[in-house]
Each structure stands twice: as structure tokens, then as C-alpha cells.
Amino acid sequence: MQMLEPHHHTLFYPASEKALSDATEARERSAKKLTLPGAILCPHASYSFVLQALHRSFTSVGAIKPSLVVFLGPLHKEILTSDEPAFLVSTEREGIRIGALECRFSPVLIKTLQKEFPSALCCQDSYFEEEAAFELTIPFIESYFPGVPVLPLLSGGMNSKQIKTYAQILNSIVERQNDTLFIISANANALLPSQQAQIQAEAFLSSLQSGQGFLDNLVSSCNKNSLQALSLLPSIKGPWQMTGLFCKGEEYDQIQSFSDTKEKYVWQFTAYAGVIDEQL
């Protein structure tokens, strides 16, 4: 198999196979299950900051069994001119190996989407070498959903027309596989001084709770375009349900400002979008 090479171990997650396995081992999950299609919100940062939050994201939706996981990650660099007019990035590789873990991708679906949306999606591995969010989430995906194929999509800046096309791509995926789980990797705000971080994290929270408005000027989340595109899907309507508010590895009951004016902060939330099966 042609596999992506890992690039972000040690800094973002343990290089040791045992330490990585121990850190990401699936924990007890909620008794109630998220009805698919659905989505979960995951933060990205070093495990020293987000390990507990990542487990919260995955455990809150129950022991669900998707047939496909679609990872929607941020792209912090600009799309290269040679790859334009594409604004979404995937890979033609068949999977990725991280330590002893092997995660399969969905290359047939990726090629199908490329044919259906040729001007929107390109496959270029170099973007994955610079984006840690995808790589640090993969061990959790494989731990909680072993053997389920993953379709990775990275996105950066977009205009309104491109966001609508993005939503069409996501809807096309759901039409093919209704039991799809979307995993959106996004922090609540950019790295900011405490008071600004609080204001922008509150704006992000407001958007999540209303299920829209992610393009507000105060929302500095690095992956807000993915959230906006997902909000346009008819199969995943309504507000996000919050399951945790975290900052620097600590959980809080509410967003707040800290007294240290020199330090900068990033808020990280966990949430799910969709319907919980109350019959369980």
C-alpha cells in the first residue's frame, strides 16, 4: 500500500508506540448514540493540552459504527498557484502508518469526488506534511472506529461560492454513504491575549449554539469554513451540542478571562452535531 508518512510525532503526540496506544485507548462511551450522519468537533494541539478534550469528543457520541469517517481539517498555508483553482486538498495515498497503527483511506471515493468536482479538489501530499491536526487525530479515529476508512479533506480560505461548493461535496458524500461521521478539527479562536481570546471564543460558541454564523468577523477559528459548509447540509441541521470547554488542558464551566496579560490563550471546545438516539 502507498502510505502517507508521519511528520508530527514527539511534538504533538508520543513517538513511542506503547505511549501512543496508552494515550489514545478508547474509553467508556456514552450509552446514547449519535444518529448518523452526524459530526463531532475536535480540538488540535499537543496531546499535553488536548488529550482529555479529544477523548471527550469521541466518548460523548456513544459507540457508533460509521462506515466512513470524513476528516475536515484546517489548512494554515495558502493553496499553491499550481494547484488552483482548487480550494480543498486530499491525498491519493491509501492510508497512513503511525507507529504500530495503520489507518486506511478511501481512495476510490476521493477519485470519484475529483471527477465530480475537478476545480474544487486537488490531491497533494505536501500539504499534509505541514498540518498536524490530521495526524494527531488519526490515532483516536483508529482507536474508537477501528478499520473504518477515512477520507481526509483540508481547507483554508474560501469565498461564499466556494463554501457552497464545499457543502455540495459533503452532501455528495452523505448521499453515497448515509452513515458517515464528520470530524471537524477546529479550535475556538486564534492564539490571542486573554481578553481577546475570551471575546472571540464566546463568538465561536454563539455560532455553534445557533448552528450558523461561523463567518462572523469575531470568529477567528482556523477551520470556520468547514463548519459553515457543514451547516448547509440538509441532513445535519440545527445547533451543536456542547460537551466541554477547555483551555490549556483544563476544563471550565464557562469561558473566562485570565489575569495574566502577557500570556496568550486558545480555547478548545468539544461538541457534536446531529440527533442523539433517545431510545437506547
For residues 243 and 257, what is the distance between their CA atoms, to the nearest angstrom?
20
pLDDT of 280: 47
41's enclosing H/E stretch is: strand 33-42
Residue ranges per structural domain of the chain: 41-277
> What is the DSSP secondary-structure string of 71-126?
EEEE--SPPPGGGTT--EEE--SSEEEETTEEEEB-HHHHHHHHHHSTTTEEE-TH
Q: Report the C-alpha dihedral over residues 40, 157, 76, 231, rounded to 10 degrees.
A: 0
| CB 155 within 8 Å of CB 225 | yes
pLDDT of 272: 97
pLDDT of 277: 81
For residues 102 and 220, what is the distance between their CA atoms, to the nearest angstrom?
33
What is the tens place of the pLDDT at every residue in 219-278? 999 999 999 999 999 998 779 999 999 999 999 999 999 988 789 999 999 999 999 886
Amino acid at 139: P
pTM: 0.96
pLDDT of 260: 80
pLDDT of 24: 97
**CATH number assigned to the domain with residue range 41-277, chosen from the 4 options 3.40.50.150, 3.40.830.10, 2.40.430.10, 3.90.1170.30:** 3.40.830.10
| CB 57 within 8 Å of CB 172 | no
Spans of the chain, pLDDT less than 50: 280
For residue 85, is the peptide bond before it cis, meaning its omega torsion is within 30 degrees of 0? yes
pLDDT of 278: 64
* Coil, helix or strand at residue 186: coil
